[in-house]
Structure 1
Amino acid sequence: MRDKPVVLILAAGKGERFTASGGGEHKLAARLAGTSVLDHVIQAVASSGLAMHVVRHSPGQGGMGDSIAAGVRETAHAAGWLILPGDLPLIRPTSLQHVSAGMMVKTIVVPHYRQQQGHPVAFRYDCFDALSALTGDEGARAVVKAYRQSDQVLDLVLDDPGIVTDVDTVDDLVAAEKAMAQHK
């Protein structure tokens, strides 16, 4: 029997759009309400009670697919994976729990907020071979597409704008700060 699912926090990207937009540091190190963007994500996962693994680099410093594959191989003991980019600082712990629970229903869980696809996307262990073989920048889109054809994808509607609120530019960081202030 496999362990519980693991949240793979992807923190290996270059963050070039953020620095190109005027950011003076990597987007994951940027401060949001006094805490780094990445630390907000780590805190949300910790509060969810789910196990986590932070992927800080991938062999050859490739794209998202390489990072996912590296994280999956490093946590091969897991029952599945919730793939969570490290630039979603407003994600709620309860959203992570709902996506994880969805793996009891279908092989893959794709969360949505107001008809926009979000993260984390969850994959049961059945997807190990496909995920561990990913390369390049595309991520796991092809894996989701293949499983969707066999009706093994759960589209999960969540009331959490944090699943789609990523920080790619300085303007995104400012918007996240405003959203965080409104929520408090």
Structure 2
Amino acid sequence: MIAAEDVVLVLLAAGKSERFGIPNKLEADFLGKPIGFHVVTALEGMPFKDRLVVTDGCQLDFASRGYTVVHNDDPDAGMSRSVKLGVRHAQQAGAAAVLIALADMPRLTTAHIYRLLDAADSDDAVVASSDGEKPSPPVVFGRAQFNFLLTLDGDAGARELVKAGRHVVTSPAELIDIDTPEDLAALQALVHDPSTAITRAVRRR
């Protein structure tokens, strides 16, 4: 396992929110709190070595929640640009691993993140989340993978590396990410009515 104290959390919060239809989806309300602050709240008790958020203009005050804020000045370059900014910070901090998480996944839990870290058993570890069918963020990368991550381009990025890594299965509901108003409405229905089928919320995948 890799201890949280040796891990830099990199929260990806850069993107145009084009499919959502407002300036920034992370600022939209979900259960009385901005979407982007749910994961912040969920993980605030974990003793990470450092917390970094990569953003390109979101108005949420991540700094007040203990995050170093890094601006992605070229979000059109794809997610890999944000990943590289975060990994470079983790490398400079001497981290044993980096945890890449998405700010638009409001149902993540501390328990699942600890399971990812428990499964990371070496410097070259790659441990991804899974809904039982395919891997997804959050993902833990050991420090031996940092140099490779810094070579990535575009949105595909570390996709093949993640596919070949270890996968920790959790509830599909925990891994729902919000890309459209329909996604948010489906999640709200799921939360307010626990009998709602999870598959309906994730069918778009």
Q: TM-score under structure 2 normalisation?
A: 0.75
Q: Does 1:162 align with 2:174?
A: yes
Amino acid at match of 1:157: V
**Cα distance in 1 between the residues matched to 2:25 and 2:157:** 19
* 3-state secondary structure, aligned to 1:78: coil
Q: Distance in 1 between matches of 2:129 and 2:169?
A: 6
Deviation digits for residues 128-166 of structure 1 (CA, Å, limit 9, x no counterpart): 101122222223214335xx3xxxx21222246212x00
Q: Which residue number corresponds to residue 52 of structure 1?
A: 51
Paired position in structure 1 for 2:152: 134
Q: What is the deviation of 1:181?
A: 3.0
- Deviations, residues 83-142 of structure 1 (Å, cap 9, x unaligned): 111110011111111112211267111221232323201110010101122222223214
* Distance in structure 2 (CA, Å) of the matches to 1:178 and 1:49: 33
Deviation at 1:10, TM superposition (A): 0.3
5+ residue gaps, structure 1:
none
Shift of 1:182: 4.2
Partner of 2:199 in structure 1?
A: none
Distance 2:32 2:23 in 1: 15
CA–CA distance in structure 1, aligned partners of residues 95 and 191 of structure 2: 32
Partner of 1:103: 120
Structure 1 residue 71 corresponds to structure 2 residue 86 = yes
Q: Which moved more, 1:32-41 or 1:136-145?
A: 136-145
- Tell which has more relative contact order, 1 or 2 (C-alpha 8 A, sep 6+): 1
2:65 counterpart residue number: none
Number of matched residues? 171
Q: Which residue of 2 aligns with 1:34?
A: 32
The 1-side partners of 2:154 and 2:132 are apart by: 29
Percent of pairs with identical residues = 30
Equivalent residue number for residue 86 of structure 1: 103
What amino acid is aligned across from residue 42 of structure 2 in structure 1?
Answer: A
Aligned-partner Cα distance in 1 for 2:99–2:179? 21
Residues 72 and 82 of structure 2 are in contact (CA less than 8 Å); yes or no, is this contact kept in structure 1? Answer: yes
Conserved? CA contact 2:126–2:161, under 8 Å: no
Q: One-letter code of the match for 2:149? A: L
SS of 2:179's equivalent in the other structure is coil
User: Cα RMSD over matched residues?
Assistant: 2.2
**1:13 maps to what in 2?**
15
Contact 1:7 1:84 in 2 (8 A): yes
Distance 1:45 1:140 in 2: 24
Residues 120-131 of structure 1: pairs in structure 2 closer than 5 A: 120-131=138-149
TM-score, normalising length: structure 1: 0.83
Alignment partner of 1:10: what SS?
A: strand
Structure 2: stretches of 5+ with no match in the other structure: 56-70, 195-205
**Given that residues 36 and 106 in structure 2 are in contact (C-alpha distance below 8 angstroms), is that contact kept between their aligned partners in structure 1?**
yes
